[in-house]
Amino acid sequence: MSKPLFLAAIAALALAGCSQKNDNDDDFASRVGANGQAAPAAPVETTAVVGPPPVGTDVRTLDQLGNISGVDLGQRDGACTFTSDGTETLIAAALSNPASTGRAVVRVDGKLYQLASSGGLPAIRQGTRFSGEGITVDVAGNDQSAILTVTDTAGQVRTIGGKWICA
């Protein structure tokens, strides 16, 4: 085989390999809400609300985060994500300084809500309390076994098992 023909064959194989879709791409896309299905009837919020959810909203039922491209998690040295059955329901970030405030976001009834925590990234990594108007979320545990507890203003609680993954 001549050198130019050999190089052309290698290039064709490389392009074919690059164009193949990885199963992990589909898995990730479905977890973050971009799995190619039809868009929901209502527009999906991509920025977080700082304020209480509407009256009658069950804040204990967290939705999949999905597109959070418009959320401002502030300056950060790292972040943690809570997942349950492969679905991300909370992301939090902060600076490493324990005096800094952390920011988190959850999606409830299709809207993103901004939450805050104290203790900076060290507290977030250990699991901490995140609070916003009408929503309190506690995370305890680590990457292999974590519990997320959501409490509404009436004191009603929902507990969800999952993983707390930090980077």
Contacting residues for 53 by C-beta, under 8 A, at least 6 apart: 59, 108, 109, 111, 113, 133, 134, 135
Residue scoring higher pLDDT (92 or 24): 92
Residue 91's closest CA among 119, 123, 114? 114
Is the model's pLDDT at 81 over the cut of 50? yes
Q: What are the extents of the domains in the chain?
A: 44-166
For the question of whether the overall pTM of this predicted structure is more than 0.85, the answer is: no
Question: CA-CA distances (angstroms) from residue 130 to 119, 138, 167?
Answer: 11, 6, 18
pLDDT in the model for residue 38: 47
The Cα–Cα gap between 76 and 57 comes to 30
The Cα–Cα gap between 61 and 46 comes to 18
pLDDT interval class at 42 (50, 70, 90): low
pLDDT tens-place string over residues 54-72? 888 899 999 999 999 999 9
Q: Which amino acid is at 37?
A: Q
Between CA 121 and CA 127, with CA 122 as vertex, the angle to 5 degrees is 90
CB 77 within 8 A of CB 143: no
